[in-house]
Structures are given as C-alpha cells and as structure tokens.
C-alpha cells in the first residue's frame, strides 16, 4: 500500500509538470490559434537560466527562479512582437514552422555553451525526503504538487478577476468581437505568448529536481502535448487534468507493466481519446451533460 501511494504521488507530480506545459500549449492556441512547437525548448532554457544565475552568478535560488521566469516571459513577448506576429493572416503552417525554427535556434544557443552541453545539474533539495510515519515521500514531488495547486489558483484569479485576464478570455472566444468592444487584440496576443513562455519556464523549474537539468529535458513537451489534446486544446482546466491523468497512468503502467512500456501509455491514451472524443474529453463531457 505504501509503495502504491508513493507511485501515485510520483505520478501526480510528473503529471503536474505535463499539465503546466499543456496549459502553455492551450493558452497560446486559444488566443492565437497557433500550436507552438517551441514550448519544450522554452522549458529547457528557463531551467538553464535559473541554474546559471544560481550557480554562475551566485544568486539565491528563489531569486534566480523568479528572474528566469520573468526573463522567459519577456523572451516570449519579444519573439511574438518581432517574428510570430508576421505570421498573422498567413496559412497556419507558417506559424507552426516559425515556432519549430525558433525552438531549434534556442536549443542551438544553449548547446553552444560548453557548460550546458556537457554537464547535468541538479537542484540542492532534489534528494530530500519527507517522512510521514512509515511513508517516505520525495520532497521535490510534494513541492511540485503544492506549487502547481498555487499556480492554478493564481491563474484562475487572473482570468476571472483582472482586466487583462478578462480581455485575454474575450480575445480567445472571438477576436473580432473583442476588437469591436475595444480590446487591444495585438497586445493580448503578446500577453498570451509571454504567459505561455513563463508557464513553460515554471514547468522546467518544477521538473528540474525530478529529472535533472539537461539539454533533452524539453522532450517532455512531446508527452505534455497529448495532455493538451485530451483537454481539446481549448480548455485550461482540461489541460491540467489531462496532464495529471497521463502522469498517474504512466506511473501505474510503470508499476505493473514491463520496463519501457510506460513511455507508450500517453500516446495510446491519446489515440483512444481522439477516437472516442474527437473534440477532447472536456467537450465530450459537456455534451453528455
């Protein structure tokens, strides 16, 4: 029983990371109707930026993390303003290929730094254990879950009660009507890309104590994308729930199935979801209600 609880905790923690990356996919897609293929690279750059500020510049870890997330938000806004905005009005494939190319450029930039391309980094509390009676839980897993719950609450307040959040929601529902109502649609697009990049950076920082910081950590976006599809690519809560569902399913598969099979689970579930709920599980549940 204790091992099952530990596996479930691990699955929820990694699922939270999937969910945050999926949130970044959905946030950008809802506002701009563009699927961003550079979220994995943004995740990796955010984690490396925090490590560089912490170990290289000697900043406290919390300050390095805050500055790294803010820097990635600024990077997302700059990329939208000077590159991605030019794809508006063009075929969707143009924007998709732009994000793919920008992602490759970000990866190439980090690879060109010798310390980043040859070493693996780990955060100081990664090995800490939280002991509750006979139950031993990884402190990093607990922190990931708590941080995700707090961040989800902050995002819910932002989208429900702030002027910028309401404007972003209006823009994502119907950009033309939002523009007629006085919403600055172009600024909302910039905000969506900035928030998407910041969310990817947060996901990278939360993933760091679980899987180390290395060049290939951005590949987790390939598993997070099915979580976004499970939510229908339009539901922010659906993306987060889909991520946690995939993380738990993957961990349970690792417990009962042969080694290596668990990596296939997210894609098997994605295929089943697309067959049963072509518009996403969230839309399917709404229709049944």
pLDDT of residue 289: 59
| Between 163 and 288, residue with greater pLDDT | 163
What confidence score (pLDDT) does residue 102 get? 93
Query: How many CA within 13 A on the CB side of residue 183?
Result: 23
Q: How many Cβ atoms from other residues are within 10 Å of residue 161's Cβ? A: 9
Report the C-alpha gap between 37 and 98 in whole angstroms. Answer: 9
Note the pLDDT tens digit of each residue in 78-123. Answer: 999 998 888 877 888 888 899 999 999 999 998 888 877 776 777 6
What is the predicted pLDDT for the residue at 266? 74
What is the spatial distance between Cα 92 and Cα 79, in angstroms, rounded to a whole number? Answer: 17
Q: In whole angstroms, what separates CA 79 from the centre of its chain?
A: 18
285 pLDDT higher than 70: no
What's the token pair of residue 20?
């945050």
pLDDT, residue 194, reads: 95
**Helix, strand or coil for residue 284?**
helix
Strand spans (E) along the chain = 129-132, 135-138
Question: Does the structure show a pLDDT above 70 at 38?
Answer: yes
Q: List the one residue out of 284, 264, 262 whose CA is nearest residue 273.
A: 284
The alpha-carbon radius of gyration of the chain (Å, integer) is 19
Residue 283 confidence (pLDDT): 60
Residue 194 in contact with residue 27, Cβ under 8 Å?
A: no
Task: Identify the burial level of 162 via C-beta atoms within 10 angstroms of its C-beta, where 0-12 means exposed, 13-18 middle and 19 or more buried.
Answer: exposed
DSSP state of 232: T
Q: How confident is the model at residue 46 (pLDDT cuts 50, 70, 90)?
A: very high
179, pLDDT greater than 90: no
pLDDT for 65 equals: 92
Question: Tell me, what's the pLDDT at 77?
Answer: 94
pLDDT one-digit tens code per residue, 249-261: 888 888 777 777 7
Tens of pLDDT along 125-161? 667 777 777 777 888 888 889 999 999 999 999 999 9
The two structure tokens encoding residue 70: 């803010």
Written as six digits, the tokens of 206 are 């939360």
Helix (H) or strand (E) holding 26: helix 2-32
What is the three-class DSSP state of 121?
strand
- Residue 50 makes CB contacts below 8 A (sequence gap 6+) with 61, 64, 65, 67, 68, 204, 205, 208
Task: Quote the distance between the C-alpha of residue 255 and its chain's center.
Answer: 25
């Amino acid at each position: 029983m204790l091992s099952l609880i530990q596996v479930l905790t691990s699955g929820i923690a990694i699922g939270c990371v999937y969910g945050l990356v999926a949130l970044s996919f959905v946030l950008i897609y809802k506002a701009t109707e563009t699927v961003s293929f550079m979220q994995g690279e943004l995740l990796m750059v955010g984690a490396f930026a925090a490590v560089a500020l912490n170990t290289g510049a000697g900043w406290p870890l919390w300050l390095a993390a805050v500055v790294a997330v803010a820097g990635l938000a600024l990077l997302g806004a700059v990329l939208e303003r000077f590159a991605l905005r030019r794809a508006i009005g063009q075929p969707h494939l143009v924007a998709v290929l732009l994000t793919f190319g920008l992602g490759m450029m970000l990866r190439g930039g980090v690879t060109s730094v010798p310390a980043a391309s040859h070493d693996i980094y780990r955060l100081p509390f990664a090995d800490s254990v939280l002991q509750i009676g006979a139950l031993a839980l990884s402190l990093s897993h607990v922190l990931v879950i708590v941080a995700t719950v707090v961040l989800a609450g902050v995002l819910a307040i932002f989208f429900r009660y702030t002027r910028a959040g309401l404007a972003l929601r209006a823009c994502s529902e119907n950009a033309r009507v939002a523009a007629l109502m006085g919403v600055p649609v172009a600024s909302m697009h910039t905000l969506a890309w900035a928030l998407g990049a910041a969310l990817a950076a947060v996901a990278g920082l939360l993933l760091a104590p679980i899987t180390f910081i290395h060049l290939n950590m951005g590949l987790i976006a390939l598993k997070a994308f099915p979580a976004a599809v499970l939510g229908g690519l339009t539901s922010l809560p659906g993306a987060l729930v889909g991520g946690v569902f995939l993380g738990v399913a993957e961990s349970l598969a690792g417990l009962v199935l042969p080694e290596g099979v668990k990596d296939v689970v997210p894609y098997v579930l994605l295929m089943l979801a697309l067959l049963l709920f072509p518009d996403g599980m969230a839309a399917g549940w709404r229709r049944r209600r």
